[in-house]
Structure 1
Amino acid sequence: MAEPGDPDPSKNKPAPRPEADPDAEVGFCSPESLAAHPRTRPSEAGSEPESESGPESGPEPEPDPVDDPMNAPLVAPLAPAAPGPPPRRHAPVEDLPEPEGMMGLYTVYALILFAIPTFGVSAFIGLLAVMVRDVPTHAVAASHHVFQVRTLWAAAVVAVLGVILIVVNAGVFVLFLLVLWVLMRGAWGSWLLKSRRAIPNPRSWWI
């Protein structure tokens, strides 16, 4: 047992190393281990050297919207259509060839139009004229010839039928419709002949 005044042997004893402290291995720290490792304040600790940064790189260039494949259209643009031929215009009437027997066709159309004031006499003459003539070889003249023959024959038959129906008070109405029909077909045919155009459907009963 130490006497008072004897020197304290623990003062000269070196402090145990922290690795020799068994409590430090299980997560506890003894006062001796803390004495060996004094705490350092954050202000006293040296600042970590900043990592050397490379040369500052500028902003990445934006992709060109024209060359960007994401902006490419899904459907390829259509190639411009080749210019077509200019619209075809009708040749002037003076440049068209004159149909065969044009004067005779004009004469028959005139007889058809004068059938009303002459009470059918001129139409009867026109019917005789087209029956004795041959069918023209020209396409335009042939269409007008067929048109005139069908007009005059139909007018002759309906005129006889209208005269018979006068007895039952229906002939006047039939003759009135016949007059309108003959005038319409005569005017239509003469206008097409003047334009040197063929009848679209010469065998029809309409214009």
Structure 2
Amino acid sequence: MSDPVTQPQSEPGLFDPGRSNVQLIYILYLVSLVVGVTSIVGLIMAYISRGKADGWPVSHYTYQIRTFWIGLVYALIAGVLSVIGIGIILFFAVAIWGVVRCVKGLQATGRRQAIANPSTWWV
């Protein structure tokens, strides 16, 4: 008897959509509060993965992409308002907003649930 040739199972790649990829992007966003540049890596990963995904991860990738761009808009507004002093407080508010969105996303990812409204500007 001959043994059938089995194909080795390939491990998921960095840009393969799924739970671990979604979690990694949220973690990159959280690390960016300290390092800064990791959010850009997460954004690129979200754009690449969104095109390949189906099911519940699609809403997370949309949510992550919007988190980056909306956060950037909020940060620019805070930067402009720093001239009159209120922007410094707004920078903290933007950071808290980003952390809350990432934690909400991580919790939903742990339950393998989609984000209810991924296009929201709030949390």
Counterpart contact for 2:50–2:62, Cα < 8 Å? no
Q: 1:104 is matched with which residue: 8, 13, 21?
A: 21
Structure 2 unpaired stretches of 5+: 1-16
Q: 1:142 is matched with which residue: 36, 43, 58?
A: 58
Give secondary structure in 2 for the equivalent of 1:139. coil
Counterpart contact for 1:136–1:145, Cα < 8 Å? no
Q: 1:152 to 1:107 in 2, by over 3 A?
A: same
User: What's the TM-score, normalizing by structure 2?
Assistant: 0.76
Superposition deviation, residue 165 in structure 1? 2.0
CA offsets 1:177-203 (integer angstroms, 9 cap, x no match): 101100000001011101111111111
Give secondary structure in 1 for the equivalent of 2:79. helix
What residue is the counterpart of 1:124 in the other structure? 40
Larger radius of gyration: 1
Structure 1 unpaired stretches of 5+: 1-99
CA offsets 1:72-130 (integer angstroms, 9 cap, x no match): xxxxxxxxxxxxxxxxxxxxxxxxxxxx4222211110011112222x32222222322
Residues of 2 paired with 1:191 and 1:129: CA distance?
Answer: 20
User: What's the TM-score, normalizing by structure 1?
Assistant: 0.47
196-205 vs 160-169, which deviates more?
Answer: 160-169
The 5 A counterparts of 1:46-85 are: none
1:175 aligns to 2:101 (yes or no)? no
Q: 1:188 is matched with which residue: 98, 104, 111?
A: 104
Q: Which amino acid aligns with 1:116?
A: L
Q: 1:155 is matched with which residue: 71, 75, 81?
A: 71
Give 1 or 2: higher helix fraction: 2
Superposition deviation, residue 157 in structure 1? 1.8
Q: 1:115 to 1:156 in 2, by over 3 A?
A: same
Give secondary structure in 1 for the equivalent of 2:119. coil
Counterpart contact for 1:101–1:136, Cα < 8 Å? no
What residue is the counterpart of 2:118 in the other structure? 202
Question: How many residues of Structure 1 are paired with residues of Structure 2 in the alignment?
Answer: 107
Q: Which amino acid aligns with 2:19?
A: M
Q: Which has the higher contact order (CA 8 A, sep 6+)?
A: 2
The Cα RMSD (Å) is 1.7
Q: Which amino acid aligns with 1:108?
A: I
